[in-house]
Chain A
Amino acid sequence: MKIRATAAIMECLLEQEVDTIFGYPGGTILNLYDELYRYQDRIRHVLTAHEQGAAHAADGYARSTGRVGVCFATSGPGATNLTTGIATAHLDSSPVVFITCNVGESLLGKDSFQEVDTTGIAMPITKATYLVRDPQTIPDVMRQAFAVAATGRPGPVLIDFLKNVTAPDVMIDYEFVPWNQNRACSSIQALASSHALKAPEPDQGDIDTLVDMIAQSERPLLICGGGVVRGKADQVFRKFAEKLDAPVAITVMGGGGFPGSHPLTTGMIGMHGSQASNVACAECDLLIAVGCRFSDRVALDPATFASQAKVVQIDIDRAEIDKNVLTDHHIIGSAKRVLTLLNEKMPQYDHTAWKEHILPMRAPSVAEDSPKLTPQQVLEVIRLQAPHDTIVATDVGQHQMWSIKYLHFDYPGQLLTSGGFGTMGFGLGAAIGAQMGNPDKRVVHVTGDGCFRMNCHELCTVEHYGLPIITVIFNNGTLGMVRQWQSLIYGKRYSETTLDRGPDFVKLAEAYGLKGFRVTDRAEMETAFAQALACGSGAVIDCVLDIDEMVRPMVAAGSPITDFLLKEGSK
């Protein structure tokens, strides 16, 4: 059947059961948006204020729903505005297909208006890029792109269509093939000839070796990494942890992979890891890391990291093994499959003595009374008042670390945070994507005043689509995390981190047609948050905090994991 090339692009999206896309139109992508107009009853387009917001929204949608996110942008500045969002998705292994259009073939390479080498720019921050010059290849490229984004270790893919490829008079051959039947399509076959399109089956010998290692271990520690979340392995991971009866440290990306309120949790590990996690890491004799790349924020000093332990890495990506920390053993496979096999072979263990040594080091999780509002109080109010399954999107910095420390995440996709790339301004876009993908859940966006300023223009998107997102601003009038480093390491020389400037966030919220609240103590926070939950529309709560609040504990970058620069709890 011959159909318009642009219609084929839409049909290919429908093949993948895409019903929501995020984006921003422009000159070269006009043909695609013209086609979208005809498909508006089947594909909902969310127009953001800025392409970066659209990229983060597609990313947040993907992380919170487990489906592939889709994002449209035009050539040149549209495409370059996406790049921060693409890199964010790449470092956190989030499956997003980015679709851009470029100038036509006759203008390509001539420094034409809004022309940029989009695929060249995106190459190092994607799993794959496609430059489509031949309209006949559209179905092949679209199917392959979605397969690549979602398979194995997920990640972003970029497709750049030349404008002439999308011209309204271009007709191509097309047959609708649902995604679960498209393995027979030629492009997927071609890919399958060289790349495995399903997760590798774990090696039995490797599983047995680990079972033996566990049997010999007296002080095992588990690390729950982002792979548990992306692989939706939370149930088997929990069973594995309970059978192993070992403390579980959670990385930033692992939030939601293991219940935050579980009695075996020791909380975060690494730079702002809890004392329990970091001491356990230094003292354990067997460290099993699941879906964790031992980034420099976890394994601060690779040479001394878990120096008493045999390190075992379970990962789907062969290239992660031994990349940052040399391991003693590894198993390649999806977290779910590997842990299921381990659960079958492993007896129930009892490591009471080890647990009794480590678990009491955990800090009390109740916020202390204080006349001034504290970060922990804000988060405690959110934890107590918001529904149990509330999705939390954060930006980057102190509020991010506090959120991960004090809120409990119980299922994959509940915490949306830029752990790898550390993108300030990620949260609001991600919250929009999450709310679009999860209309029945509440979404809370926790941010700092610095981060919020970066992408607060997306409040217009929140208002326009009637999204009941609650933005909670940790407003301490400074770039808190940078100030914390300046306080501790740079002799209190606060170089360009003080944010003694506007806007008035309450008025800003009102200017966008949203509810605005300012709170200075716990009681006000309780009232404001209850009203925000009840009001049914988006709201912004400006929480006035002390400028010198710090994230505790803290280990300096590159230091041994138990060399605490700041201790837990102490002032």
Chain B
Amino acid sequence: MKKPLDTRRKLYTMCILVEDVPGVLSQVSRLFSRKGYNIESIVSGATDKPGIARISIELIGDELMIDQIAAQCRKLLPVKAVKILDEETCIRREIALIKVSCADRVSRDEIIQLVNIFRAKVIDVAKNALTIWVFGSQSKNAALIEMLEDFGILEIAKTGTIAIERGCNTIYDESKLKEEYEYGKNVL
């Protein structure tokens, strides 16, 4: 019988393994836009398998909506696997590069202290500016950025969120990369 659906709206991360062919990112993102779903962040990168890329998409919605968009995604030919991760089951990280101004030595020292507390790194130093690299959860990065605002942020470059499941489960477990057809997956 039908499983009960979680009707709360929350942040989901959808991880999609795709064949790395031209236009695949646009194919996936256009599916989201034409179905009327807003993407919070999107990241695409290589995987351990040659020719296979992983797209991580963050979006806010309820379970029914997420299931529907995952089913639509699975129908795209370059899509090899789709995994929906929610807050409880996964680790999410993002990277930010922050250029912050430091007028004098005092503020430079203060910034370096903050950077150490957040386990971030100073990766470039100029006379009146520092560039900081921070890797962590969205909330940690946001907290550091908030602290640095006092010194005057000159520029920020951020990645979207990447996510992976906790424990030994992987995206390959229920994926279409398996040779045999399994019930419940999409056919062409």
Give A contacts to B, CB under 8 Å: 119-120, 123-124, 127-128, 131, 147-148, 151-153, 191, 193-203, 209, 316-319, 321-323, 326-330, 332
Contact = CB atoms under 8 A, between A and B. Distances in A.
A278 to B, nearest CB: 25
Contacts of B26: 120, 123
B187 A153 contact: yes
Contacts of B72: 319
16 contacts: A123-B27, A123-B30, A124-B31, A127-B188, A152-B187, A193-B179, A196-B188, A201-B181, A203-B183, A318-B71, A318-B74, A319-B72, A327-B2, A329-B1, A330-B2, A332-B184
Q: Which of B1, B71, B185, B187 has most A Cβ within 10 Å?
A: B187
Contacts of A147: 188
A152 B188 contact: yes
A316 B187 contact: yes
Which secondary structure dominates where chain A touches chain B?
loop
B185 A196 contact: yes
A319 B34 contact: no
Given A194-B80, A195-B77, A328-B2, A318 B184 contact: yes
A197 B67 CA distance: 23
A350 B77 CA distance: 45
Given A203-B183, A319-B72, A322-B67, A195 B188 contact: yes
B64 interface: yes
B185 A318 contact: yes
A485 B30 CA distance: 34
A441 B187 CA distance: 34
B47 interface: no
B116 interface: no
Contacts of A194: 79-80, 176-177
Contacts, number: 88
B138 interface: no
B2 A193 contact: no
B68 interface: yes
B107 interface: no
Contact of A318 (B34, B79, B186): B186
Contacts of B30: 123-124
Interface residues of B, number: 29
B10 interface: no
Given A124-B34, A209-B1, A319-B68, A195 B187 contact: yes
Contacts of B158: none
Contacts of B176: 194-195
A329 B2 contact: yes
B74 A200 contact: no
Nearest to B176: A194
Given A193-B177, A194-B80, A318-B74, A332 B68 contact: no
Interface string B163-188: 00000000000001101010111111
Given A191-B77, A195-B188, A196-B186, 9 more contacts: A123-B26, A128-B77, A196-B181, A197-B187, A201-B183, A327-B2, A328-B2, A329-B1, A330-B2
B140 interface: no
A332 B186 CA distance: 9
B75 interface: yes
B77 A319 contact: no
A209 B186 CA distance: 21
Nearest to A125: B34
B158 to A, nearest CB: 29
A122 B80 CA distance: 22
A153 B68 CA distance: 17
B3 to A, nearest CB: 10
A330 B26 CA distance: 32
Contacts of B31: 124
Nearest to B179: A193
Given A322-B67, A323-B68, A328-B2, A200 B77 contact: no
Contact of B181 (A128, A200, A202): A200
Nearest to B70: A319
A199 B187 contact: yes
A475 B168 CA distance: 68
A290 to B, nearest CB: 17
Given A148-B77, A322-B67, A322-B68, A198 B185 contact: no
A291 to B, nearest CB: 14
Nearest to B33: A124
Leading 5 A-B pairs by shortest Cβ distance: A152-B187, A319-B71, A152-B188, A196-B181, A194-B176
A319 B177 contact: no
B74 A151 contact: no
A131 B71 CA distance: 25
Interface string B78-108: 0110000000000000000000000000000
A147 B77 CA distance: 12
Contacts of B185: 196, 200, 318
A328 B188 contact: no
A483 B1 CA distance: 45
B55 to A, nearest CB: 15
B174 to A, nearest CB: 13
A128 B34 CA distance: 16
A327 B68 CA distance: 13
A319 B74 contact: yes
Contacts of A328: 1-2
B188 A153 contact: yes
A151 B64 contact: no
Contacts of B79: 194
A186 to B, nearest CB: 14
B86 to A, nearest CB: 19
A398 B72 CA distance: 33
A235 B74 CA distance: 31
Nearest to B69: A319
Nearest to B22: A131
Contacts of A196: 181, 185-188
